[in-house]
A = this chain, B = another copy of it.
Amino acid sequence: MSVPAGYQQNELTTPTRSRERAAYDRETVHAILDAGYVCHLGFVRDGAPVVLPTLYGRVGERLYLHGSTGSRPLRMAGQRDPGLPVCVTVTHVDGLVLARSAFHHSINYRSVVVHGTAYQVTEEDEARAALDALVDHVVPGRAADSRPANAKELAATAVVRLDLEQVSAKIRTGGPSDEPEDIGLPYWTGVLPVTHGYGAPVPADDLAPGIPAPAYLTRL
């Protein structure tokens, strides 16, 4: 199997700061995207920036975002030709980096920034596949274990797609980098790992007796 080339490094995808933390290979970018399900969607409204948290799913080299057909950015993506310019950012925080100097305090993180144009999905097959991908992106295995959207629900759901073309990842790992002259200072220094997990599933009040929490949930 040939390994596809990485994303293009250009002015748009090159960070102004800490360029050594940037990555453009697809494996790294996909892994960061697949580790999350909430992105921050940025768009421009009346000349001003708007940033909203939104669910997403990835299918190959494409992100899908969805919302109600009444939602502002999704409506804009549908109405506008040629689509809505967006920036989609996904961030995972892995640790708090405590240096001896306030200045060198930092965060260990993994992030992906995608620039591009969001287009509304108008084909029903693609919309259905995208909605399955969105559900399975949050809880793998769930799409097949729930009632699929009916025609009315599908009509009320706007799905937009964004191709992964202008993409970069940025990653910081490791411990603090203090100034040599600060090494002797009497402050604790190191990393406080940030953990993410799940609690025990909480059944809905009206869940019928005898339906156990499925394995795809309890193994998360």
Query: A: which residues have CB within 8 A of B?
Result: 16-17, 38, 40-44, 47-53, 55, 67-68, 70-72, 75, 85-89, 91, 93, 95-96, 98-103, 105, 107, 109, 111, 113, 115, 131-132, 135, 138-139, 142-143, 145-150, 153, 156-157, 175-176, 178, 182-208, 211-214, 217, 220
Contact = CB atoms under 8 A, between A and B. Distances in A.
Contacts of A202: 95, 175, 190-193
Copies in the complex: 2
Given A138-B96, A139-B96, A188 B205 contact: no
B207 A201 contact: no
11 contacts: A40-B42, A40-B51, A44-B44, A44-B48, A47-B85, A98-B142, A102-B148, A105-B146, A107-B138, A188-B214, A194-B198
Nearest to A194: B198
Contacts of A52: 89, 113
Contacts of A85: 47-49
A125 to B, nearest CB: 15
B188 A102 contact: no
Nearest to A182: B147
